Amino acid sequence: METFNVFEKIFGLNFLSALISVILPLVFLIIYALIAILGELKISAWIQERLGPMRTGPYGILQPLAEVVKLIQKEDIVPAGANRLLFNLAPYVIFAGSFAGFAVIPFSAAFVPAEINIGLFYVFAVGAFAVIGIVMGGWASNNKYSLLGAMRSASQMISYEIPGALVILSAAVLANSLDMQKITTLQDGGFWNWFLFGGPGNWTKIWIIPFTLLLSLIYMIASLAETNRTPFDIPEGESELVAGYHTEYSGMKFAMFFFAEYSNMFIVAAILTVVFLGGWTSPFGTFMGGFWWGIFWFILKAMFIVFIQIWLRWTLPRVRVDQLMYLGWKVLLPFSLVCFIVISLYRIIY
Amino acid sequence: MIDYFKNVWTWFYTILLGMRITLKHLFAKKVTIQYPNERYPIPPIARNRLHLDPERCNGCMQCARICPVQCITVETIKVVPIDPEKPTMFDGSPRKIWVPRYDIDFAKCCFCGLCTTVCPTDAIKHTIDFEYSSYTREGLIYHFSNMTPEKIEEKKKLLAEWTIKEKALKAEKAKQDSNVSSNEVN
Amino acid sequence: MTTTKFVDIDFSKIDSDRMRLNVGPQHPSTHGVLRLEVELDGEVVTNVIPHIGYLHRCFEKIAENMNYQQVIPYIDRMDYISSMNNELPYVMAVEKLLGIKVPEKVEYIRVIMCELNRIANHQIAIATFGLDAGAFTPFLYLFRDREYILWIFEKATGGRLLFNYFWVGGLANDVYPTFKEDVLNIVKQVRKTNKEIEELLIYNKIFIDRTANVGILPADVAINYGCSGPVLRGSGVPFDLRKAEPYSIYDRFDFEIPVGKGEVGTVGDCWDRNIVRMREMEQSCRIIEQAIEQMPDTGDVQSAIPKKVRPPKGEIYFRCENPKGELGFYVVSDGKDKPYRVKGRAPSFVNLSVLPEISRGYLFADLIVILGSIDIVLGEIDR
């Protein structure tokens, strides 16, 4: 089988190449998280006509670093009555779940940490891992707010996996594959070939363009709910549940939760990018294409999605639990089902 | 059914409207400033830290009386006629009262401004300085009197001397008076 | 040897499904130090018991040991968000006792200041209400505007929040020369921001879904509980003391009483209470514009201040329309320079009492929204 991992090509399939393949995404994740936190701080500030952090470094760009240092220094408190084992384990479970998703994300034409042909399926499987960590943390905290947050989170995640999965299914039908790298290469050759605009094909694909647009929108909404971000941040809804499932966490463990949230944001952005925005392919055909440009395009597109997530967060109020369920089961699910049927019909006819 | 689609559409549409507004603000001019380096002007009328000009204070204690939270402590010593200094007020009139102690406890002060309005000589005034803080409660007690302890001691002694003298004088006067009256009776 | 004692317990009567949750006194959305004892059935609120008194400062007792002038700074600290409106009923009550008529200019400045403060108060109310619903950005837009109003206050009175500006018989000092232009600019700014807030928050579908049909307070219940202000008007009762029994010079202005009409839900829901505040800001703007137009330029604001405030024996209850509702002061004078008794009728206190009634059966997230829609200030509740 042909490999897309450049390190495997260089070093061969051994421990060294595997190690590099693991560490490289982790380094990327850390740098990305710092940038995303800074982005969150700065964008929220600018939207609210504030300056945001300005003291740490020029224009405050070192602020996330300072926050990490602060969190490391903080006392690690375990509340009395907490289940120590689960309490200590939960942040790492969540982080492991979100980091595992990085294994199949195609950063470029020549670099996928682990090339497996059911990449999309795998991402969904490990993405659901996070809910275990949240319920663990919420239950082990011995705090009623945490428990409420955890329960909300569990119900929320379950209901949003389904429309999200249906969107991915539709995309898989269109691409005839679950392999993320293959889906990306299919969309090569300009933005017109993106699945956002119906994918590659002749003029007949115009019929499905509204449906693919709708699908990407549905995935965007479902992913917001999956990553617990506003308007769906009810598991941690700060005005109701103080901080939800991570109320009792402090120091590095809280940082882990924080980290996992941003890493989750990137994963859903990456899936959206790969499935609908052509992954690492250049929007201008062969212009600005290639290995390095591929990384550039991929990160740019993913970061744009992350920006939209941040932008939405600072615009909208929070929905209520029952409304979230309503939206998930009664709006997103029927719409995604309709899209799925239409796209399947399209595949059968053409 | 139509209601359902309308509902979904308003969800979508109003979210877009909100996003348009926040996007507009993203590029708008920012209103906050970097505080200690730049600051907004404070109007001169603003009621912040109190300041007392001890030269102007005539020790009438009206400020201590009007203060709703009793944060002003004033002690006074009467100026005696035998004082060699012949102290004067800011406007040249003779000073009647020494103010050896004038303390304001800013931990208590509620910045209502009543003390400044009752002051007959405009000695106590609000300044526009709001950046004062302390690690201890005692550090928030400001001492405004400009008299040295030696001077206070001296003035106290003078007062004590004068009271003795005055008593003697009074007794003498009373004696004379009684003499006069007894004479009259006789 | 131990004997086993058997106790008959009817297990069906033990309420083991309910969860008791303490919300506050340290909680992000109790608007101060309020403690709510909430009984939850899953997420559904079955009972709420508000516990108050964490901010009790003995205002009424202290007032008995202060002279009439010294009480005013304490009154500022009751509802610290709308101090001007707090001072007005007390000052007018004492003026009534003394039989003082204040100059025209003082009346106009008082009305303008009160209405500006009403706007500032409603801005906070709407901002924190949005915050309770999870929207953070409108909060800061409204606070930015409130800051402009506070600057006017600071320039005119010297204080940003606690003014001690209205005195018995007059004002502490006259307003500064460019006061009128500044106020008119503020009115313009408030209207501009309100338009934006309506689009960004009030008519946002998520916000409507969160607040409409939630915490419905029927008009009769509102009246029975003695609610006042936007809470009462949100239920569709057009009762506003400024119109019902015009005090000061409110009878000279042309304005309307906005009431909740159930535009997006049921009459008396949280959204209605909020929209009443929104519309009241517009009406306040109208009053300010008219007052600025009619206000005499010259006049001594301190001419009617008595040398010594020593009302004759008697008692008076005077009430005004505070932004939060009907604020009244019951002042008893025994002829000395200190009041014999000062009692404040705090609107927040009365409005809070309706909370358990209207929040039963809603979700826990709704309880927070309902609490936010009542717009309480704990300084006033505990006094």
- Report phi then psi at A158, rounded to 5: -60, -45
What span, in angstroms and rounded, lies between the C-alpha atoms of C226 and B15?
Answer: 38
C touches which chains (3+ CB pairs under 8 A)?
A: A, B
Report the helix count and the strand count for chain C, using DSSP H and E: 15, 8
In angstroms, rounded to a whole number, what is the distance separating the alpha carbons of residues B77 and B184?
40
Residue B56, pLDDT score: 82
- Please give the span between the terminal C-alpha atoms of chain C, in angstroms, as a whole number: 58
Tell me if B68 and C70 make a contact (CB, 8 A cut-off).
Answer: yes
C66 part of contact set with chain B, CB < 8 Å: yes
pLDDT value of residue C264: 84
Mean pLDDT value across residues C205-215: 85
Q: Write down the ipTM of this complex.
A: 0.82
pLDDT in 10s for each residue of chain B, 186 residues: 888 888 888 888 888 888 888 888 888 888 888 888 888 888 888 888 888 888 888 888 888 888 888 888 888 888 777 777 777 777 777 777 888 888 888 888 888 888 888 888 888 888 888 888 889 888 888 888 777 888 888 878 888 888 888 888 888 888 887 776 666 655
C17, pLDDT greater than 80 = no
> Mean pLDDT, to the nearest integer, of A292-313?
85
The Cα–Cα gap between A28 and A136 comes to 28
- Neighbours of A, requiring at least 3 CB pairs below 8 Å, are B, C
The interface residues of chain B toward chain C in range 20-39, judged by CB-CB distance below 8 A, are 21-22, 25, 31
**Residue C38 φ/ψ, nearest 5 degrees:** -110, 135
Distance from CA of A267 to the nearest CA of B (A): 23
When pLDDT is cut at 50, 70 and 90, the band that residue A339 belongs to is: confident
User: A2: pLDDT confidence band, cut at 50, 70 and 90?
Assistant: low
DSSP A271-334: HHHHHHS-TTS-TTTTTT-SHHHHHHHHHHHHHHHHHHHHHHHTT-PPPPHHHHHIIIIIIIHH
Rounded Cα gap, residues C260 and C231, in angstroms:
9
A121-148 average pLDDT score: 83
Residues A132 and A98: their CA atoms lie apart, in Å, by 12
What the block records as the tokens of A60 is: 């405050």
Q: Is B66 in Cβ contact with C155 (below 8 Å)?
A: no
Are B14 and C205 in contact (CB < 8 Å)?
yes
Instruction: Select the residue from B112, B115, B126, B128 to test the C interface by mutation, using most C Cβ atoms within 10 A.
Output: B112
**Percent with pLDDT over 70 in chain C:** 96
Q: What is the pLDDT of residue A345?
A: 86
**Sequence-separated (6 or more) residues with CB below 8 Å from residue B175:** none
Give the C-alpha distances (Å, rounded to integers) separating A322 from A234, A270, B19, C296: 11, 29, 24, 57
User: How do residues A33-89 score in pLDDT, each as one tens digit?
Assistant: 888 888 888 888 888 888 888 888 888 888 888 888 888 888 888 888 778 888 888
Would you say residue C18 has pLDDT above 80?
no
Chain-wide mean pLDDT for chain A? 81
pLDDT computed for residue B184 by the predictor: 60
Contact (CB<8Å) C134/A230? yes
CB contact under 8 A, B29 and A49: yes
Q: Could you tell me if B132 lies within 8 Å of chain C, comparing CB atoms?
A: no
Q: In chain B, what residues touch A48 (CB-CB under 8 Å)? A: 25
pLDDT of residue B183: 62
pLDDT of residue C8 exceeding 70, the answer is: no
What number of other Cβ atoms are within 10 A of residue A251's Cβ?
15
With vertex at residue B169, the alpha carbon angle to CA B164 and CA B170, rounded to the nearest 5 degrees, is: 95
**Residue A320: pLDDT above 70?**
yes
Q: Do A317 and C207 touch (CB under 8 A)?
A: yes
Q: Which residues of A touch C135 (CB under 8 A)?
A: 315-318
Element (H, E) at C37: strand C35-41
- Average pLDDT (C164-177) is 84
> What span, in angstroms and rounded, lies between the C-alpha atoms of A96 and A92?
6
Quote the CA–CA distance of C324 and C142 in Å, as a whole number.
Answer: 18
**What pLDDT score was predicted for residue B91?**
77
Contact A238 C204 (CB under 8 A): no
d(CA B113, CA C157): 10
Please report the number of interchain residue pairs, chain A to chain B, with beta-carbon separation below 8 angstroms.
41
- In terms of Cα–Cα distance, which of C373, C127, C328 is closest to C234? C373
Provide, as residue numbers in chain B, all residues whose Cβ is less than 8 Å from the Cβ of C74.
68
Question: Considering only CB atoms, which residues of chain A are within 8 Å of chain C?
Answer: 44, 47-50, 144-145, 148, 152, 230-231, 233-234, 237-240, 242, 314-323
Q: Which residue has the tokens 């009256």?
A: B181
Burial class (CB in 10 A: 0-12, 13-18, 19+), C270: buried
End-to-end Cα separation, chain B, in angstroms: 123
Cβ contact A240–C365 (<8 Å): yes
Q: What is the pLDDT of residue A1?
A: 43
Gap between the Cα atoms of C75 and B144, Å rounded? 29
pLDDT at residue C159, rounded to an integer: 83
| Interface touch B26/A316, C-beta < 8 Å | no
Q: How confident is the model at residue A313 (pLDDT cuts 50, 70, 90)?
A: confident
Q: What is the pLDDT of residue A62?
A: 87
Among chain B residues, CA nearest to A319: B11
Distance from C113 to chain A by nearest Cα, in Å? 27
Compute the average pLDDT of residues A201-228: 81
The CA distance from C189 to C181, in Å, is: 12
**A143-159 per-residue burial string, b: 16 or more CB within 10 A, e: under 16:** bbbbbbbbbbbbbbbeb
- With 0-12 / 13-18 / 19 or more C-beta atoms within 10 angstroms meaning exposed / middle / buried, residue A24 is middle
Q: Minimal CA–CA distance to C374: which of C265, C228, C194?
A: C228
First and final C-alpha spacing in chain A: 30
Stretch C19-36: mean pLDDT, rounded?
Answer: 81
A44 is written with which tokens?
Answer: 């929220």
What is the band of C4 on the pLDDT scale with cuts at 50, 70, 90?
A: low
Domain B50-159 has CATH 3.40.50.150: no
Q: pLDDT digits over C274-311, tens only?
A: 888 888 888 889 888 888 888 888 777 777 777 777 88
Task: Please give the order of strands across the beta sheet that includes B72-78.
Answer: B72-78, B97-105, B141-143
pLDDT, position C3: 61
Which residue, among C200, C207, C301, C338, would best test binding to B if mutated, counting the most B CBs under 10 Å from its CB?
Answer: C200
Asked whether A244 and A193 are in contact (CB, 8 A), the reply is no
Q: Does the distance separating the beta carbons of C28 and A231 come in below 8 Å?
A: no
Q: Which residue has the higher pLDDT, A337 or C305?
A: A337
Distance between CA atoms of residues A179 and A201, nearest Å? 19
C2 confidence band (pLDDT: 50, 70, 90): low
Q: CA C89, CA C318: separation in Å to the nearest integer? A: 6
pLDDT of residue B185: 55
Q: Which helix (H) or strand (E) holds C342?
A: strand C339-345
C88 within 8 A of C276, measured Cβ to Cβ: no
Asked whether the predicted pLDDT for residue A221 surpasses 50, the reply is yes
Mean pLDDT of A97-106: 83
The answer, yes or no, to whether residue A19 has pLDDT greater than 60, is yes
pLDDT tens readout for residues C323-364 = 888 888 898 888 888 888 888 888 888 888 888 888 888 888
CA distance B83 to B87: 8
Q: Is the pLDDT of residue C214 over 60?
A: yes
C29 and chain A in contact, CB less than 8 A: yes
Q: Which DSSP letter does residue C330 get?
A: E
C-beta atoms of A315 and B22 within 8 A: yes
Question: Nearest-CA neighbor of C320 among C69, C88, C95?
Answer: C88
Task: Tell me if chain A has a CB within 8 Å of the CB of C135.
Answer: yes
Query: Which residue did the predictor score with more confidence, C325 or A16?
Result: C325
Closest partner residue to B43 (CB to CB) among C74, C155, C201 is C155
CA distance C302 to chain B (A): 12
Residues of A within 8 A of C141 (CB-CB) are 48-49
- Mean pLDDT over each residue of chain C, to the nearest integer: 85
Question: What's the pLDDT score for residue C356?
Answer: 86
State whether residue B30 sits within 8 Å of chain A by CB.
yes
Nearest Cα of chain A lies from the Cα of B31 at a distance, in angstroms, of 6
**pTM, to two decimals:** 0.85
Strand-strand pairing, B97-105 and B124-126: unpaired
C140 vs A contacts (CB less than 8 Å): 48-50
Closest residue in B to A214 (Cα) is: B12
